Amino acid sequence: MGLAIVGTAALGAVALWLAVAAGAPERGRAPSEGVLFGIWRVFYDTEMPAPRVLLAAVGVALLLAAAVAGLERRLLTRARRSEDGNRMPLAPRLVMAETRGHFAGPVTITVLIPAHNEESCIAETLASLLAQEPPPARIVVVADNCTDGTVRLAREAGVEVFETVANRHKKAGGLNQALRDLLPAQGDNDCVMIMDADTTLDPGFLAGATRRLTDDRALMAVGGLFYGEDGFGLIGQFQRNEYTRYQRDLRRRRGRVFVLTGTASVFRPRALRAVAEERGKLLPGVPGDVYDTVALTEDNELTIALKTLGALMVSPRECTVVTEVMPSWSGLWAQRLRWQRGALENLGAYGMRPQTFRYWMQQLGIGYGVIALAAYLLLILLMVLATSSWVWFPFWIGIGLVFTLERVVTVWRGGWRARLLALSLFPELGYAMFLNVVYLKGVWDLTLARQADWKHVVQPDTAARTGV
């Protein structure tokens, strides 16, 4: 990893040096002129940028990538080696020292499933859990204000049910109640998995998580890699392609966690207790709560909390889950607005810390992507409208081919449907613009201090979702 960062930085420096050493810039040509709608003069240039400009752009991009990766590596190394129990009580060096020579028994996993009117999917979720080898030590459905058949179906499946009392804080509040009841009796190796009610585990998830937690007692959490369920035509395929690319990015990061997904993640009791103890001190939130009930995206917030405390986490490739996709554009809008708004609010709550640096960079990258993609599409539209005849621009055609190749390669594991959609390019660019508009809406709402809602999306039953 270190060599890769140094190599990337070296390549970037060489590219930038070659661009600068190429001599004085050549005098550019005057752009062509077109008239739009008979009143608006626009200028365009059919020539590609000078090679030295392209080389400089590549050099700067490589240097920026190396800088971000290098800083992240430095922060990770510092957290691993920290001996500051006051600021990083979950740092691996401290945990290893405290647990050396002490056997806490074999790793077991108790599963908590927060559920609010999930009768359409709870049976399938429980079936995937009961089929795991080894099976969970306990399965507890945390029923929060359910008015449908969720509780009945859970009991018929033979699992425990914890019904919340006077909970006003949705999923986070329900989990806090259940964890307050569960954690005091858990030993160091009696781990807790939080799993969404609309998710099914792939075979081998619990075995993989158990093996990881057994082999490394400094490991505080294991996150799942999620894929989209089948069905729902084009909108479903857009989301599956998006999830496939996300998993690819995680594999390239060798499992280093970006977000411990709420779909399914396993935690050591030590980690959850430390978070609860630091609420109101090192971490935002109410003292004694594991989950911050103010956060719209509780999984993202808990990940940042654990990183702040120095926890070691991983999302291994053997721990995969299948989760729901939004069946409609309105549902997708509500889901993604909550995700985006929640991520921004979490960053605001934590501010700029070493542990949040990469998250801030991600938000800046999204903002840059919004501007770049909108400008790209707008320029294409202007060119089409401004010119009287079709003009082939080799440079932009080349850029389009690079985009297309990148789209196809990054969803290759998703199968022929995923590749075909990626090959068509413009539908996916339209989907990207949809997500960009959601991002802008989230920023706009946050700027105006509008109250955010935690909307529960009611899903059709399993047969209707998948068409089986």
pLDDT at 455: 59
Beta bridge partners of 321: 201, 226
Residues 6+ apart with CB under 8 A from 163: 143, 146, 151
Task: List, for the chain, all residue ranges whose pLDDT scores fall below the cut of 50.
Answer: 464, 466-468
CA distance 308 to 271: 11
| Distances 338 to 211, 360, 435, 441, 453 between C-alpha atoms, Å | 34, 18, 12, 11, 8
| Cβ atoms of residues 265 and 299 within 8 Å | yes
Beta bridge partners of 108: 190
CA distance 92 to 98: 10
CA distance 380 to 383: 5
CA distance 73 to 67: 10
Residue position matching structure tokens 């479903």: 236
pLDDT at 42: 77
Tokens describing residue 64: 């920026």
| Cβ atoms of residues 298 and 263 within 8 Å | no
* CA-closest candidate to residue 134, choices 200, 223, 206, 215: 206
| Cβ atoms of residues 306 and 260 within 8 Å | yes
* CA-closest candidate to residue 36, choices 382, 348, 315: 382
| Cβ atoms of residues 41 and 35 within 8 Å | yes
